[in-house]
């Protein structure tokens, strides 16, 4: 029987980072967003959904919805994972997050996470002094001006320090572009995307389409198993 903590462990902190306040378990697809006067990569249809797969077996989903009002963008994130051994659930992970953007500037982040019974939270607000963050593993601090939440949907985060959206820590991974690549979706389609490898205090691979839309993600769990994000049709 696999060790439930060894399977995913703290790598979940890096993969879904995400960001939010507690919200209903199921998210309905947001209406098609109006264009924003910014360069934020809002996907067509206002929704991204990924199947999270470990060694070929689906663990759950990571879903992101986008809603715009004027120049304000609200992003809702839901991650639900469960590792099962036969009829027994060995591990559960639930994350709910929200981001508010004003134009292309981050205004607020909130999140709650239940990592198999261990709970985390993050809150961040833009203040006159800067973007103030506090979380379960971070006393209140002002993030560097170029810091961005580790939300993965916004490719600009690759050029900035990460605000860990599970526990609030500031992270500084090294990012290496690996060039054009192809990545499968959950339905078997192939996406052409740019491949990036992250090392240091975050270790994973991530892909983005030419439009900057997030295409997929991959990391090795602590037990050596391979976890992939495969994009689902919205």
CB 18 within 8 A of CB 217: no
The CA-CA-CA angle for residues 99, 107, 121, to 5°, reads 50
- Lookup: tokens for 56: 């070929």
Q: What is the tens place of the pLDDT at every residue in 58-82?
A: 999 999 999 999 999 999 999 999 9
From the list 232, 195, 208, the residue with the least C-alpha distance to 151 is: 208
The CB density around residue 184, as the number of other CB atoms within 10 Å, is 14
Alpha helices in the chain (DSSP H): 4-7, 11-16
Looking at the DSSP assignment, which residues form a beta bridge with residue 78?
63, 96
Mean pLDDT for 8-36 is: 34
Mean pLDDT for 192-207 is: 96
Per-residue pLDDT for 17 more than 80? no
CB 198 within 8 A of CB 175: yes
Share of the chain above pLDDT 70, in %: 83
d(Cα 32, Cα 35) in Å, to the nearest integer?
A: 9
From the list 153, 15, 132, the residue with the least C-alpha distance to 73 is: 153
Q: Tell if the pTM clears 0.85, that is, is over it.
A: no
List the domain boundaries for the chain. Answer: 4-171
Q: Which residues contact 125 (CB under 8 A, 6 or more apart)?
A: 107, 108, 131, 132
Give the least confident one: 19-23, 87-91, 123-127, 174-178.
19-23
Q: Within 13 Å and on the Cβ side, how many CA atoms surround 183? A: 25
Q: What is the tens place of the pLDDT at every residue in 128-159?
A: 999 999 999 999 999 999 999 999 999 999 99
């Amino acid at each position: 029987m696999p060790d439930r903590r060894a399977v995913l462990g703290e790598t979940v902190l890096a993969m879904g980072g995400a960001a939010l306040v507690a919200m209903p378990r199921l998210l309905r697809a947001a209406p098609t967003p109006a264009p924003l006067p910014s360069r934020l990569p809002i996907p067509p249809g206002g929704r991204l959904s990924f199947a999270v797969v470990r060694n070929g077996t689906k663990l759950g989903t990571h879903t992101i919805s986008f809603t715009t009002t004027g120049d304000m963008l609200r992003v809702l994130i839901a991650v639900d994972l469960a590792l099962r051994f036969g009829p027994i659930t060995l591990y559960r992970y639930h994350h709910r997050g929200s981001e508010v953007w004003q134009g292309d500037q981050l205004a607020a982040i909130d999140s709650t996470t239940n990592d198999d019974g261990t709970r985390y939270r993050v809150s961040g607000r833009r203040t006159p002094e800067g973007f103030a963050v506090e979380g379960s593993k971070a006393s209140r601090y002002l993030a560097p001006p170029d810091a961005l939440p580790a939300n993965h949907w916004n490719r600009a985060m690759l050029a900035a320090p990460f605000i860990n959206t599970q526990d609030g820590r500031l992270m500084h991974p090294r990012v290496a572009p690996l060039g054009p690549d192809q990545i499968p979706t959950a339905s078997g389609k192939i996406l052409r995307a740019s491949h990036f490898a992250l090392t240091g205090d975050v270790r994973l691979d991530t892909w983005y389409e030419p439009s900057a839309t997030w295409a997929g993600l991959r990391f090795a769990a602590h037990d050596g198993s391979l976890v992939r994000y495969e994009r689902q049709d919205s």
